[in-house]
Amino acid sequence: MSFPTCPMPLPSIPFATRCLASAALSALLLITSGCGRSGEPFPVHAFLSAPDNLQGNRYELEAEIDAQLNWREGVGRLISVRALRGDARLPLFIGDSMKANLLVAQRYRFEVTVRKGGLLYVEHLQKL
Amino acid sequence: MRRSLFVLSLTAAASLSNAQSDQFGSSTPVSTPPPPAGSTAVAGPATAAASKAAETRPDTRSGGAEAQSRAVNVNSMESGTLLQIINKAFDADSDSINPETGTMTWKGHTYDVGQFRVFRGRFERYLSLPPTRDQDLYTATFDEIFKLLSTRTADGSQDSVVAAWKLLYRAAEYDSDGGNSLGVANQIFNAWRIRDEKQAFSVTQTELDRIRRQQSASVVYAGDALAAQAGKGVSDAVSSAALLGGLTTGSSSDSSSSNSNSNNSGGGGGSGSGTVTSGNTTATIGGGGNGNNQSGKGGNNSGGQSKQTIGSGNITGPLGQVLRARELAETEAKIKSLEAAGLLSVTQAKLQFQSQIMSLFLQRRFQHALIASSFYRYIFKGSHQNLEVGKKELSTFLPSTDLAMTVETIEFLSREAINDVNNGMISVRANYDDGRKIGGLERLQETFFLGEYLPAVTQFEPERKEALLTLYRKIDEAKKLADLRDFDAVLALTNEIGSLTKDFRTNEVSAAVRSTQRMSTLALNAAQQATASGDYNRAQEFIEKAAQLWPLNPAIKNYTENLASQADLGTQAAALFDEALKRDDFRRIYDRRAELAAAFLSDTTRGTQLKSVIDRMARVEIYLAQTEELLAQNNAFSAWEALAAAATFAPNDVVLNQRMAQLAPRVAEFVGRLDQAKRYETDQRYAASLTQYLAAQDIHPASQLARTGLTRVSEAIMSQLSVEIPGAVVEK
**Inter-chain residue contact B695 with A88, CB threshold 8 Å:** yes
Residues B325 and B395 in one domain: no
Any domain includes B493: yes
Any domain includes A73: yes
Contact B160, B148 (CB under 8 A): yes
Does A12 have pLDDT greater than 80?
no
Distance from the A26 Cα atom to the nearest Cα atom in chain B, whole angstroms: 36
B725 closest CB neighbour out of A47, A75, A117: A75
**Inter-chain residue contact B694 with A115, CB threshold 8 Å:** no
Rank A8-12, B410-414, B429-433, B652-656 by mean pLDDT and report only the highest: B429-433
Residues B83 and B232 in one domain: no
**Inter-chain residue contact B721 with A75, CB threshold 8 Å:** yes
Residues B665, B670, B675, B680: is their CA dihedral positive or negative?
positive
A78 closest CB neighbour out of B698, B717, B728: B717
Residues B82 and B118 in one domain: yes
- Quick: pLDDT tens for B592-623: 888 788 778 777 888 888 899 999 899 999 99
For A123, the enclosing helix (H) or strand (E) is: strand A120-127
**Inter-chain residue contact A52 with B688, CB threshold 8 Å:** yes
Preferred mutation among B689, B690, B725 to probe A, highest tally of A CBs within 10 A:
B690
Upper half-sphere CA count for residue B587 (Cβ side, 13 Å): 14
Q: How confident is the model at residue B393 (pLDDT cuts 50, 70, 90)?
A: confident
CB of A90 less than 8 A from some CB of B: yes
Any bridge partners for residue B97, and if so which? B104
Residues B107 and B184 in one domain: yes
The CATH number linked to A72 is 2.40.50.140
Check residue B60 and give its pLDDT.
Answer: 39
Residues B215 and B360 in one domain: no
**Inter-chain residue contact B685 with A76, CB threshold 8 Å:** no
- Quick: pLDDT tens for B174-192: 887 888 899 889 988 888 8
Contact A94, A69 (CB under 8 A): no
- Quick: pLDDT tens for B211-262: 888 888 888 887 777 777 766 555 565 556 555 554 444 444 444 444 444 3
* Burial of B165: CB neighbours in 10 Å, binned 0-12, 13-18, 19+: buried
Check residue A31 and give its pLDDT.
Answer: 43
| Dist CA B641 CA B657 (whole Å) | 13
Residues B77 and B214 in one domain: no
- Quick: pLDDT tens for B421-469: 999 999 999 999 999 988 888 888 888 888 888 888 888 888 898 898 8
| Dist CA B393 CA B416 (whole Å) | 17
The secondary structure of B475-542 as a DSSP string is HHHHHHHHHHT-HHHHHHHHHHHHHH-SSS-HHHHHHHHHHHHHHHHHHHHHHHHHHHTT-HHHHHHH
| Dist CA B367 CA B411 (whole Å) | 9
Preferred mutation among B689, B691, B697, B724 to probe A, highest tally of A CBs within 10 A:
B691
For A122, the enclosing helix (H) or strand (E) is: strand A120-127
Q: How confident is the model at residue B26 (pLDDT cuts 50, 70, 90)?
A: very low
Residues B352 and B318 in one domain: no
Any domain includes A1: no
User: Among the three residues B266, B300, B335, which one is the final residue of a domain in this structure?
Assistant: B335
Any domain includes B628: no
Distance from the A105 Cα atom to the nearest Cα atom in chain B, whole angstroms: 16
Residues B154 and B254 in one domain: no
Q: How confident is the model at residue B1 (pLDDT cuts 50, 70, 90)?
A: very low
Q: Domain of residue A74: give its range.
A: 44-127
B685 closest CB neighbour out of A47, A78, A118: A118
| Dist CA B391 CA A54 (whole Å) | 140
A117 closest CB neighbour out of B687, B725, B731: B687
Residues B406 and B467 in one domain: no
Phi and psi at B93, nearest 5°, equal: -95, 5
Contact B214, B290 (CB under 8 A): no
By C-alpha distance, which of B430, B473, B475, B425 is closest to B450?
B425
Residues in B closer than 8 angstroms to A75, CB to CB, are 718, 721-722, 725, 728-729
Residues B321 and B394 in one domain: no
Any domain includes A19: no
Q: What percent of chain B has pLDDT over 90?
A: 8
**Inter-chain residue contact B694 with A91, CB threshold 8 Å:** yes
The contacts of residue B80 (CB under 8 Å, 6+ apart) are none
* Burial of B508: CB neighbours in 10 Å, binned 0-12, 13-18, 19+: exposed
Check residue B201 and give its pLDDT.
Answer: 76
Check residue B421 and give its pLDDT.
Answer: 92
Lowest mean pLDDT among A53-62, B61-70, B115-124, B722-731: B61-70
Lowest mean pLDDT among B258-262, B334-338, B530-534: B258-262
**Inter-chain residue contact A90 with B691, CB threshold 8 Å:** yes
Opening angle at CA A60, ends A55 and A65, nearest 5: 100
CB of A50 less than 8 A from some CB of B: no
The contacts of residue B198 (CB under 8 Å, 6+ apart) are B21, B24, B342, B345, B346
Any domain includes A51: yes
Residues B639, B640, B643, B645: is their CA dihedral positive or negative?
negative
User: Among the three residues B335, B361, B379, which one is the final residue of a domain in this structure?
Assistant: B335
Residues B327 and B366 in one domain: no
B686 closest CB neighbour out of A52, A90, A117: A117
Residues B227 and B151 in one domain: no
User: Among the three residues B387, B419, B451, which one is the final residue of a domain in this structure?
Assistant: B419
Lowest mean pLDDT among A38-42, B22-26, B443-447, B657-661: B22-26
Check residue B625 and give its pLDDT.
Answer: 92
**Inter-chain residue contact B698 with A88, CB threshold 8 Å:** yes
| For B680, nearest residue in chain A (alpha carbons) | A117
Any bridge partners for residue B105, and if so which? B96, B110
ipTM for the predicted complex comes to 0.73
When comparing pLDDT for B641 and B71, which is higher? B641
| Dist CA B709 CA B384 (whole Å) | 133
Both ends of chain A: CA-CA distance in Å? 26
The total number of structural domains that make up chain A = 1
**Inter-chain residue contact B717 with A93, CB threshold 8 Å:** yes
The total number of structural domains that make up chain B = 3
Q: Domain of residue B212: give its range.
A: 205-335
Residues in A closer than 8 angstroms to B725, CB to CB, are 74-76, 95
